[in-house]
Structure 1
Amino acid sequence: MSSSQLPGLYKELLRAFTSRPSDLQKTGQLLTQLKIVLIETGLIFPQRDHKPNELVVARDILEIGAFWSIRTKDVPSFDRYFAQLQTFYNDYSSVLPMSEREYPIRGLNLIRLLIQNRIADFHTTLESLPLPADELAVNPFIKHPVNLERWLMEGSYSKVWKAREEAPAEEYKFFVDSLMGTIRNEIASCEEAAYDSLPLKDAGTLLFFKSQSELLAFAQQRNWQVNLTAETITFAHKGEEKLDIPKEKLIANNLAYARELEQIV
């Protein structure tokens, strides 16, 4: 495959990716072909002898690859594209015009670190961004993951839940959904330890489920016993381990919290 094919394949890629809806299958096929061309022309890890317009095309291809990875729910692929983009974002920032996709992709990477519970890496990456502190606070693509991290540390899970609808780009919703999956499992573990049973309605509210069917599917995964007649969930306790937990206080606090959430969600 020769470099002369790059312009034509690049135009095809733009058409497939920007169509409504995106042709994800075609986009993936074209990305595979284009990555081979980028490798053969040395543009995947560029040197200084490349022209700026060639570098912009290479960067665009990798950025589309990063978004395509999220839309196809392939996080390892996103990681690879993001790593390849670092050369363009960091080493060629003074040579190339700013990309409008750069900060959406940087923001997605920050949320990915949160999902993987890599909090130290999250803060290191945030501090290394080439933006002054006052701009970090207003850039919507960076502000969103920063807020998510703060709410997670505070335990303000209702705010994390609502953040899905406030996502600055559609791709962010995939990562927020993944984050909510982790949060649900943590809440479920606390429920199993603190309660013998809960009303279905309260359990669904605490776990941020919009429908009973979603709750029932989750309960089955956790091996919870569901009584649809009594509308209760009984939790499956592992072994006979006894925990010193102030159950009455926890139940009162959490049910009050559940009722407040009902009014919000």
Structure 2
Amino acid sequence: MAPPQLVANYERLKAAFGSPHADQKSIGQLLLQLKIALTEARLLIPGSNSSLEDLVITRDVLEMGAFWSVRNKDIPAFDRYFSQLQTFYLDFRSQLPPSPREYPLIGLNLIRLLTQNRIGDFHTTLETLPPNILGENPFIQHPVHLERWLMEGSYNKVWQEREAAPSEEYKFFVDSLMETIRREIASCEEKAYDSLPLSDAMNLLFFTKPSDLMIFAQERGWNVDPTTQAIHFARKAEETIEIPKEKIIINSLAYAKELEQIV
């Protein structure tokens, strides 16, 4: 049975987590205290003798911690929380009541895998889900659509899907995904064009504010001409490739002589 102080802090965490005006720093401190208490009570790695109540409390704490990590843009912390939750989602699924946070968190993890270009892990995760969840659950459909449009190169649809995100936390990962897409588009622009009008660059890179484009251009080392309202791409000097003509001729003659001897 979980200690009374652990249960009391758990109730405080639930109240703070559900408040729209909650102090994120206070939530972080509560999470730290609870993780220490759960470790001391040997509930973070539960055993067969753990009570149902204790399992539910531990799962809830880890789920709230995962959401808190995304809200604070702490991806390593999200990874740790989600990894710890796998025991509860897989090993104790038959013993625990369904959690309303499970599929929202799985969906968030799927988008995280997309941002890291871990397409194999993305599809492996999908294969573990029930078929009806794939077709009906909006939290899973969202990353599935994103992956499909990424493979098609329909980046405008990825951008539009941001506004259709099933929760605010999803927008953070979609923004991270857009950053990856922008870098890929920018590399193509640098090779394809000498310059582009600022308005065209904004559209191609899915920026809504000129100031964001200016920051991005500075990071890429692009030259912005305020007079012509154009971006000039900095090109690297083309490397000169020397072809060893004499060596090729000598080798060709040697091969010809060997062929003559064989014949």
The two structures have a TM-score, normalised by structure 2, of 0.89
Shift of 1:241: 4.8
Structure 2 match to 1:3: 3
Deviations 1:136-179 (A, max 9, x none): 12210100000000000000000000111000111000000000
Structure 1 match to 2:235: 237
Kept after mapping to 1: 8 A contact 2:133/2:140: no
Structure 2 match to 1:59: 59
Kept after mapping to 2: 8 A contact 1:151/1:157: yes
- Aligned ranges for residues 3-82 of structure 1 at < 5 Å? 3-82=3-82
Structure 2 match to 1:204: 202
Kept after mapping to 2: 8 A contact 1:17/1:23: no
User: Of the two, which has the highest radius of gyration?
Assistant: 2
- Aligned ranges for residues 137-152 of structure 1 at < 5 Å? 137-152=135-150
Structure 1 match to 2:159: 161
Structure 1 match to 2:248: none
Give the share of equivalent positions with the same residue, in percent. 63
Kept after mapping to 2: 8 A contact 1:66/1:78: yes
Q: Any unmatched runs of 5+ in structure 1? A: 243-265
Kept after mapping to 1: 8 A contact 2:142/2:166: yes
Deviations 1:2-22 (A, max 9, x none): 822111101111122111133
Q: Which runs of 4+ in 1 moved over 6 A?
A: none
Secondary structure at the aligned position of 2:235 is classed as: coil
Kept after mapping to 2: 8 A contact 1:144/1:167: yes
Q: How many residues align?
A: 239
Distance (Å, rounded) in 1 between the aligned partners of 2:31 and 2:67 = 12
Secondary structure at the aligned position of 1:137 is classed as: helix
Distance (Å, rounded) in 1 between the aligned partners of 2:172 and 2:207 = 16
Q: Any unmatched runs of 5+ in structure 2? A: 241-263
Distance (Å, rounded) in 2 between the aligned partners of 1:34 and 1:232 = 54
Distance (Å, rounded) in 2 between the aligned partners of 1:211 and 1:47 = 53
Distance (Å, rounded) in 2 between the aligned partners of 1:80 and 1:174 = 18
Counterpart residue type for residue 199 of structure 2: K
Counterpart residue type for residue 154 of structure 1: E
